Amino acid sequence: MTNILLICSGGMSTSALVKKMQESADKRDIEVNIWAIGDAESQEESKKADIILLGPQVRYLESKMKQRVDNKKPVAIIDMLVYGTMNGEKALDNALEVYKNFNE
């Protein structure tokens, strides 16, 4: 099971993307746990994640998140087009690819 954490300003705008990513995973029998939060909650929640994805609107948090996880977990920014179109399948594929490449 891969734990994928999405972070945005308040945690609300990514909720729709989380749902679409989970639907895509379910259709393909991929075991993932995906959830979204706002930056204010990221200190504790980042400990539970295998990969952290940042909404494009909070891309400025990338270095802060990498420091928070001591560069021991991948931190990536969700592509603006993928985010804007709420393409859950593409977002999931990108997350899993980043996770795989980080662990190779």
Q: Is the pLDDT of residue 10 over 90?
A: no
pLDDT at residue number 28: 97
Q: Which two tokens stand for residue 80?
A: 């603006």
Residue 56 is which amino acid? P
> How confident is residue 21, by pLDDT bands cut at 50, 70 and 90?
very high
Specify the pTM: 0.94
What are the chain's domains?
2-102 (3.40.50.2300)
Q: Which two tokens stand for residue 4?
A: 């994928």
Q: Which residues are catalytic?
A: 8
Q: What is the pLDDT of residues 47-66, one digit of tens each?
A: 999 999 999 999 999 999 99
The DSSP result for 27-78, as a single string, is HTT--EEEEEEEGGGHHHHGGG-SEEEE-GGGGGGHHHHHHHTTTSS-EEEP
